[in-house]
């Protein structure tokens, strides 16, 4: 019996990396080299970008301490790249003396020694006397709008382009606000400029101030007491109304005038590319084949959240199938992934000639003729007929696809390569029938300044525009929501 000797090696990294090295400090538009030890770098801007070098792929920890204190007051982290370079972007400083140092940690957890510290002194040069404070241009404060502030005064540091600070706030939305930095336009000019934007949320780092209430004052104040204000104007429309029917509930009503998050392409380039087409009043979902030099299954997911067929058994949708690219036109089936006796995909026939998955029903009269058609069927009844004894069934997923059976255990993509438009879908609904004679509709929308009213039209035409008349509103229990309820005949129902 031959004898063998086996060897097993373990490699352990216990060598700490070298201390990081700062290479540049950028303040405003000026780049500075790291100063010599005990020689502080004088800065006039509060934002500092720090670059340096460390062991490749190590984690660099930057410590900022006040003056000569040993305890760190602030710690931030950055990752060194393959070349060892790292950057700390937009480090915000308050006025005073600072000492910066860094330490690197490699992938094995070894820590370096602390780097050579860098001393920084940040001092503003607020004007000795403020002469004026104003908004430049014609301020029209609304969402997304920019306000430019100009401060003029007696220059405090004739040899340096200084910075000053003002406090910006909104009277209702954010009365605390934040400090906005103004920079001097040049050496000894005494003129300082700065800008901020109005937004839904305050973010001092990006100079965004929250302002939402119609008529609230947006105020700028300088430390000496001068202040200016301008009234906020709400030009943001309310959210698109959500229409529901408590008497005739639906799981979904996808008309594509709003969001399309539930719909998505399947299997990358082999599926259908989705595009919303039409105007704001009547939009449809268009499915394109983009697979070139290869076949496609035209697949698109319609719903990926499970639901009960017993609760919502009925499906309805409008569809248009293109008569090209081949002589049969677009071949397509609706596929449902079901939790039944043998869980898996089942098909509802539209036009596919060689379906791969077993079918449990079909849409009568489906044809690829470049015209709109309507499909409506009870999916639960189809499942019960195919699987007797089924009382309920969970649908895990719904999709439109063209997968062909090409022989024993062979599945092929059924559509030729593109590019071309394959089909369109609109008014996709999952719901249940109701025997209630009265239909109640609930319209809901949100707006920070309240809803003045709704206008609506009710008929059988697909593209009706709401009239200009405004109906009164009734508050709902949720904060900042409004609604109006109408019966089918137009009679309002009170809560």
The count of other CB atoms within 10 Å of the CB of residue 59 is 19
**In this model, does residue 85 exceed pLDDT 70?**
yes
Q: Which two tokens stand for residue 463?
A: 């593209």
Fold of 129-231: Immunoglobulin-like (2.60.40)
Q: CATH for 250-431, among 3.90.78.10, 2.60.120.200, 3.30.420.10, 2.70.150.10?
A: 2.60.120.200
CA 131-133-139 angle, to 5 degrees, is 155
Mean pLDDT of the region 143-148: 94
Task: Quote the percentage of the chain above a pLDDT of 90.
Answer: 61
| pLDDT digits 0-9 by tens, 418-459 | 899 999 999 999 999 888 877 787 878 888 877 777 777 666
Q: Which residue has the higher pLDDT, 396 or 127?
A: 396
**In this model, does residue 377 exceed pLDDT 90?**
yes
**pTM of this structure:** 0.62
**In this model, does residue 476 exceed pLDDT 60?**
no
Task: Quote the percentage of the chain above a pLDDT of 70.
Answer: 89
| pLDDT digits 0-9 by tens, 152-191 | 998 888 788 889 999 999 999 999 999 999 999 988 899 9
Lowest-confidence pick of 36-40, 78-82, 286-290: 36-40
**In this model, does residue 274 exceed pLDDT 80?**
yes
Residue linked to tokens 């599945």 = 411
The pLDDT value given to residue 409: 67
- Asked if 393 and 255 count as a contact pair (C-beta separation under 8 A), the reply is no
250-431 has the same fold as 129-231: no
Strand bridging mode 191-199 / 208-210: parallel
Cα separation, 471 vs 308, whole angstroms? 36
Residue linked to tokens 């390569």 = 417
**In this model, does residue 361 exceed pLDDT 90?**
yes
Nearest by Cα to 99 from 70, 119, 74: 119
| pLDDT digits 0-9 by tens, 305-330 | 999 999 999 999 999 999 987 778 99
Residue linked to tokens 């839904």 = 200
- The whole-angstrom distance between residue 363's C-alpha and the CA centroid of its chain comes to 37
DSSP string, 170-191: ESSS-SS-EEEEEEESSTT--E
CA distance to 18, 75, 319, per residue, from 464 (Å): 72, 59, 20
Q: Where are the domains of the chain?
A: 21-122, 129-231, 250-431, 437-495
Please count the residues of the chain. Answer: 495
**In this model, does residue 199 exceed pLDDT 70?**
yes
The pLDDT value given to residue 441: 79
Nearest by Cα to 100 from 149, 175, 40, 150: 40
Q: Which residue has the higher pLDDT, 321 or 38?
A: 321
Name residues whose C-beta falls within 8 Å of residue 363's C-beta, 6 or more positions apart in sequence: 334, 348, 349, 350, 375, 377
**Mean pLDDT value across the chain:** 87
The CATH superfamily holding the domain 21-122 is Immunoglobulins (2.60.40.10)
CA distance to 213, 289, 334, 354, 468, per residue, from 322 (Å): 49, 12, 16, 18, 38
Work out the pLDDT band at 489, boundaries 50, 70, 90.
Answer: very low
């Amino acid at each position: 019996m031959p004898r063998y000797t086996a060897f097993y090696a373990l490699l352990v990294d216990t060598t700490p990396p070298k201390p990081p090295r700062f290479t540049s400090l950028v303040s405003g538009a000026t780049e500075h080299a790291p100063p010599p030890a005990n020689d502080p770098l004088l800065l006039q801007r509060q934002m500092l970008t720090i670059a340096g070098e460390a062991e490749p792929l190590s984690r660099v920890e930057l410590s900022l301490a006040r003056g000569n204190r040993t305890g760190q007051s602030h710690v931030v982290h950055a990752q060194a790249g393959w070349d060892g370079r790292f950057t700390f972007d937009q480090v915000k400083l308050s006025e005073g003396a600072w000492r910066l140092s860094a330490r690197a940690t490699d992938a094995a957890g070894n820590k370096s020694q602390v780097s050579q510290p860098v001393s920084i002194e940040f001092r503003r040069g607020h004007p000795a006397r403020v002469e004026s404070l104003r908004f430049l241009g014609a301020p029209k404060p609304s969402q997304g709008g920019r306000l430019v502030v100009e401060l003029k005064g007696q220059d405090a540091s004739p040899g340096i382009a200084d910075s000053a600070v003002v406090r910006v706030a909104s009277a209702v939305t954010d009365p605390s606000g934040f400090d906005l930095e103004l920079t001097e336009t040049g050496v000894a000019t005494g003129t300082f400029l700065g800008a901020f934007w109005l937004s839904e949320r305050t973010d001092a780092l990006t100079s965004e101030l929250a302002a939402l209430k119609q008529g609230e004052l947006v105020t700028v104040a300088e430390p000496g007491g001068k202040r200016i204000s301008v009234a906020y104007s709400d030009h943001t429309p309310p959210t698109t109304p959500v229409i529901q029917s408590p008497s005739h509930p639906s799981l979904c009503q996808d008309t594509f005038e709003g969001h399309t998050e539930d719909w998505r392409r399947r299997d990358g380039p082999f599926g259908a590319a989705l595009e919303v087409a039409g105007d704001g009043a009547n939009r449809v979902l268009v499915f394109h084949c983009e697979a070139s030099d290869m076949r496609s299954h035209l697949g698109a997911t319609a719903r990926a959240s499970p639901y009960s067929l017993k609760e919502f058994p009925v499906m309805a949708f409008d569809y248009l199938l293109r008569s090209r690219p081949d002589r049969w036109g677009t071949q397509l089936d609706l596929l449902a992934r079901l939790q039944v006796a043998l869980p898996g995909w089942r098909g509802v026939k539209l036009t596919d000639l060689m379906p791969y998955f077993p079918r449990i029903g079909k849409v009568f009269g489906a044809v690829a003729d470049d015209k709109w058609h309507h499909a409506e069927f009870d999916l639960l009844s189809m499942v019960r007929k195919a699987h007797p004894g089924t009382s309920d069934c969970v649908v895990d997923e719904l999709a439109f696809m063209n997968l062909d059976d090409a022989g024993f255990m062979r599945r092929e993509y059924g559509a030729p390569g593109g590019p071309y438009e394959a089909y369109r879908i609109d008014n996709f609904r999952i719901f249940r029938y109701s025997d209630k004679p009265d239909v109640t509709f609930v319209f809901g929308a949100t707006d920070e300044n309240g809803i003045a009213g709704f206008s609506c039209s009710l008929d059988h035409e697909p593209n009706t525009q709401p009239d200009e008349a405004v109906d009164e509103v009734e508050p709902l229990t949720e904060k900042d929501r409004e609604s109006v309820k109408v019966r089918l005949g137009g009679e309002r129902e009170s809560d």
